[in-house]
Amino acid sequence: MTEVLIVGGAVMGASVAFWLTRMDPGLRVTVVEPDPSYATSSTALSAAGIRSQFTTEVNVAISRFGIEFIRDFARHTGAAGGVADLGLKENGYLFLTGTETGALQLENLAAMQRGLGAATQVLDPAALAARWPWMALDDIVAGSYGPRDEGFFDNMGLLSGLRNAARAAGAVWLRDRVTAFERDGDRVAAVVLEAGGRRQADVFVNCAGPRAGALMRTMALDLPVEPRKRTIFFVDAPKARHPGTPLVVDPSGIWFRPEHGQWLAATVPATDGPCEPDDFDPQDDLWEDHVWPALYARAEGFGEAKVMRQWAGHYAFNTLDQNAILGRNPQVPNLYHANGFSGHGLQQAPAVGRGIAEQIVHGDWVTLDLSPLGVQRVLDAQPFAEAAIV
Ligand SMILES: Cc1cc2nc3c(=O)[nH]c(=O)nc-3n(C[C@H](O)[C@H](O)[C@H](O)COP(=O)(O)OP(=O)(O)OC[C@H]3O[C@@H](n4cnc5c(N)ncnc54)[C@H](O)[C@@H]3O)c2cc1C
């Protein structure tokens, strides 16, 4: 019986396990995960958004499948998944630009996205003001908006349903941590476990999120993935309650979206770089120095905003091109990757898990060609950049 060992059991590991058990019930699937609470996983700390508005066709296609899967989650995962509904709020995403060049780029991207079935429309300031009259738009030339198939959903519900369904179909979650991969020539032979001992398998899948690069170094292989801290502020603004607002990506560099009558908001730190894998201290300064001024500039109602709480999570940041690194590793072909999602992996979990399972079971991508995101481009140092990184 073929043994598959998945390192990391958050949304990506759970999705790979889910699809493997569906495609080949004869496989023996083990998922090694140290933390059943998932407290510091990116999955748990995510903003839980899904959008069609990407700059590469493959990412649009991945999210097109993601939204269908999320919308129809109970049917895909069945009673064993135990999650009836992922509470999708289809508020959309709104990318604002303050330049004519930016507006032209948004038009071109919207045409590409519509060609793949998305509903993206580019709105001029008058159309934006008609929809969101409370927004200050003096500095805005255009906004790209997805009126359907984009929004926010229950991140932990997605993980739970996939994991429950995978376990019901025979996948086993082992509470432990992999401390190293052991290589034997052009194969991974085993993983070393923190609790002691090693574990052999025929096939290994690296789903270790922001720690994926560090794990590869244990067998002297490079993977350009590092943890980067992102702080999210949960904000109450009694004079700015607009629950139907999309996730707004502002030209100032911040983003904000409604959450149960309040708001989530965040920005990319000016000095961005790798962080310690165990450092989850929020970057409080970002609120007063960057996020609050930008919110206030977009709507006066944010003048009385109050931070209710804040948290920091880690992006698994791909330093080559901020895109996922997927599939078989040509250097060690019994190792597969689902890594480097750079802040957009939650929505990609359904399609990526299916793709990795197809490669393992059928030898190649089947339903969706994910080869632009394959490992070879990384080995060749040929970036395949995703520009819409939020
Ligand atoms: C602040 C923030 C906002 C985000 N917003 C969005 C968004 O709006 N939309 C979106 O699509 N994506 C978003 N993302 C990204 C998304 O959350 C991730 O891409 C996705 O959750 C990745 O899932 P994963 O399973 O690969 O990694 P993780 O969720 O990080 O899980 C990795 C798992 O591996 C385990 N692990 C690590 N090392 C080992 C080891 N040595 N041995 C065994 N197990 C190990 C960990 O315990 C963990 O459970 C956001 C991320 C952050 C941090």
Q: Which of 19, 41, 51, 194 maximizes ligand 1 atoms within 8 Å of its Cβ, making it the mutation to test the pocket?
A: 41
> How far apart, in Å, are the Cα atoms of 251 and each of 29, 94, 122?
45, 11, 15
- Give one DSSP letter per residue of 141-170, joined into a string: SEEEE-SSS-EE--HHHHHHHHHHHHHHTT
Q: Is the CB of 42 under 6 A from ligand 1?
A: yes
Residue closest by Cα to atom 2 of ligand 1? 46
User: Is any atom of ligand 1 closer than 6 Å to the C-beta of 267?
Assistant: no
Question: Averaged over 27-54, what is the pLDDT?
Answer: 98
Which pLDDT score is estimated for 166? 98
Yes or no: say if 319 and 224 are a contact pair by the CB < 8 Å rule. yes
Indicate which atom in ligand 1 lies nearest the CA of residue 179: 41
For 211-253, strand residue ranges (E) read 225-236, 247-249
Q: For residue 303, give both structure tokens.
A: 């003048």
Which residue puts its alpha carbon closest to atom 19 of ligand 1? 345
List the residue whose alpha carbon is closest to atom 27 of ligand 1: 209
- Rounded to whole angstroms, the Cα distance separating 120 from 145 reads 5
100 φ, ψ (degrees, to nearest 5): -65, -40
209 Cβ below 6 A of ligand 1: yes
> Alpha carbon of 88 to those of 103, 232, 233, 260, 266: distances in Å?
29, 20, 21, 13, 21
pLDDT over 90 at 252, yes or no = yes
Q: Average pLDDT for residues 360-365, to the nearest whole number?
A: 98
143 and 130 in contact (C-beta within 8 Å)? no
By most ligand atoms within 8 Å of CB, the mutation choice from 35, 46, 156 for ligand 1 is 46
By DSSP bridging, strand 172-174 and strand 178-184 are unpaired
Q: Work out the pLDDT band at 364, boundaries 50, 70, 90.
A: very high
Which letter, b or e, does each residue of 201-224 get, where b requires 16 or more Cβ atoms within 10 Å of its Cβ? Answer: bebbbbbbbbbbbebbeebebebb
17 lines ligand 1 (CB under 6 A): no
Residue 270 has pLDDT above 90, yes or no: no
Assign 285 to helix, strand or coil.
Answer: helix
Cα separation, 62 vs 368, whole angstroms:
8
pLDDT at position 389: 87
Give the model's confidence band at 365: pLDDT under 50 very low, under 70 low, under 90 confident, else very high: very high
**What spacing in Å lies between the alpha carbon of 313 and ligand 1's midpoint?**
9
3-state secondary structure 345-373: CCCCHHHHHHHHHHHHHHCCCCCCCCHHH
Is the per-residue pLDDT at 156 higher than 90? yes
254, 294 Cβ separation under 8 angstroms: yes
- Spatial distance between the Cα atoms of 10 and 184, rounded to a whole number of angstroms: 28
Residues 6+ positions from 298 with CB-CB distance below 8 Å: 135, 136, 248, 250, 256
- Eight-state DSSP code of residue 288: I
Q: Are 120 and 178 in contact (CB under 8 A)?
A: no
pLDDT at 175: 98
Q: What six digits make up the tokens of 240?
A: 């700015």
For the stretch 77-109, pLDDT in tens is 999 999 999 999 999 999 999 999 999 999 999
Most informative mutation of 42, 156, 318 for ligand 1 (most atoms within 8 A of CB)? 42
* Rounded Cα gap, residues 238 and 177, in angstroms: 44
Count of CB atoms situated within 10 Å of the CB of 136: 12
Mutate to test the pocket of ligand 1, among 5, 6, 43, 278 (most ligand atoms within 8 A of CB): 43
pLDDT, average across residues 279-291: 97
Q: Is the CB of 264 under 6 A from ligand 1?
A: no
Would the pLDDT of 223 be above 90? yes
Quick check: CB of 388 below 6 Å from ligand 1?
no
pLDDT band at 171 (very low <50, low <70, confident <90, very high): very high
Query: How far is Cα 365 from Cα 130, in angstroms, rounded to an integer?
Result: 44
Please give the distance, rounded to the nearest whole angstrom, from the Cα atom of residue 269 to the centre of ligand 1.
19
pLDDT at position 248 = 98
Give the tokens for residue 166. 């995978």
Atom of ligand 1 nearest to the CA of 44: 29
Mean pLDDT of 246-275: 96
Give the chain's mean pLDDT: 98
Angle between helix 57-71 and helix 349-362 axes, rounded to 10 deg: 100
Query: Can you tell me which atom of ligand 1 is nearest the CA of 176?
Result: 43
- pLDDT per position as a tens digit, 298-327: 999 999 999 999 999 999 999 999 999 999
Residue 102 CA to ligand 1 centre (angstroms)? 31
